[in-house]
């Protein structure tokens, strides 16, 4: 597989990793229509756990079929497909080798009242299914955040030793944070930095708002420009080792296309490595989703 100078530069930032892990990162970075650019668009489909089947898939019933998501990611020219164990198992043979997969290792659900996630897969599962990476979620600010970080440490150590990359969802939530605080400028940067410190190769956070969530951080942010999405994203990327870790941003709840594209342009202009976008993709009819993803790819290619 030919590697572009952009991808070689990114791989060079991961100084401790073995050839297997770097090869799996390279597979993700070289896949699809953004392959070789250093930019990524990933399809995550873990919302069945998080929100339930009807809330996730009823808007587009074809999405109840796990094969639908593999094929959508392939046809759209995406970088990777991320999902829990059962979803990847359901298409593992048909789509073996077609697109890099990320096995989501832990999940929450809407029936639970605690800010925690259960580990639902193993490193052996990821290897058996030919995955390129594992995915894991931590909730900085939760009463269970330290337990989650310790679970991650064990899984990440095993994954890296087996040549797998680590993708970390870092979503602040907990009793000290209100809804505005979960996406606050300072807290998003803090969550992204924690993910880098935990050893993640690819960091997933939510797009930051201009709100400052921590009183203790307000003085520090007086001289940090957070006036636009691009400026805020630039700071989040800076918080991830001065851009030496791959940072992608979630798509969040379904929104109108103009709002989504405006947000993606802000991510691009701030230096984000890309987007990991689920409900905004698979809840739309297939042809609409493909057209939307093409526009997002074009934005990251500076064509739109």
d(CA 183, CA 179): 7
Decide the pairing of beta strands 80-83 and 118-119.
unpaired
Catalytic residue among 104, 160, 204, 206: 204
Q: Which of 32, 20, 26, 34 is nearest to 2 (CA)?
A: 26
Q: Which of 261, 212, 260, 207 is nearest to 230 (CA)?
A: 207
247 — alpha (psi -120 to 50), left (phi > 0) or beta?
beta
Torsion of the alpha carbons at 284, 287, 288 and 289, rounded to the nearest 10: 60
d(CA 176, CA 106): 23
Q: Which of 172, 176, 171, 166 is nearest to 198 (CA)?
A: 166
d(CA 116, CA 109): 9
For residues 47-86, one letter each, b for 16 or more C-beta atoms within 10 angstroms of the residue's C-beta and e for the rest, the string is bbbbeeeeebbeebeebeebebbbbbbbebbbbbbbbbbe
Whether 204 sits among the annotated catalytic residues: the reply is yes
d(CA 34, CA 13): 20
Catalytic center residues: 204
């Amino acid at each position: 597989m030919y590697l572009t100078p952009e991808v070689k530069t990114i791989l060079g930032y991961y100084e401790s990793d073995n050839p297997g892990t770097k090869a799996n990162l390279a597979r993700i970075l070289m896949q699809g229509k953004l392959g070789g650019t250093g930019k990524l668009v990933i399809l995550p489909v873990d919302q069945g756990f998080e929100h339930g089947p009807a809330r996730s898939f009823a808007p587009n019933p074809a999405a109840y079929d796990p094969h639908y998501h593999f094929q959508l990611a392939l046809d759209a020219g995406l970088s990777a497909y991320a999902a829990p164990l059962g979803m990847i198992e359901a298409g593992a043979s048909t789509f073996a080798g077609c697109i890099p997969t990320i096995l989501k290792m832990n999940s929450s659900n809407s029936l639970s009242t605690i800010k925690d996630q259960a580990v639902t897969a193993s490193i052996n599962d990821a290897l058996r299914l030919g995955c390129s990476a594992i995915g894991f979620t931590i909730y900085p600010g939760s009463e269970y955040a330290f337990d989650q970080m310790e679970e991650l440490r064990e899984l990440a150590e095993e994954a890296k030793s087996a040549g797998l990359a680590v993708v970390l969802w870092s979503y602040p939530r907990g009793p000290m944070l209100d809804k505005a605080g979960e996406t606050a400028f300072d807290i998003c940067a803090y969550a992204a930095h924690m993910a880098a410190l935990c050893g993640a190769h690819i960091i997933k956070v939510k797009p930051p708002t201009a709100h400052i969530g921590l009183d203790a951080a307000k003085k520090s942010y007086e001289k940090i420009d957070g006036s636009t999405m691009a400026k805020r994203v630039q700071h989040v990327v800076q918080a991830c080792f001065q851009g030496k870790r791959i940072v992608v941003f979630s798509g969040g709840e379904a929104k109108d296309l103009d709002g989504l594209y405006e947000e993606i342009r802000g991510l691009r202009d701030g230096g984000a490595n890309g987007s990991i976008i689920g409900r905004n993709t698979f809840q739309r009819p297939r042809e609409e989703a493909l057209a939307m993803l093409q526009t997002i790819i074009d934005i990251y290619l500076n064509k739109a």
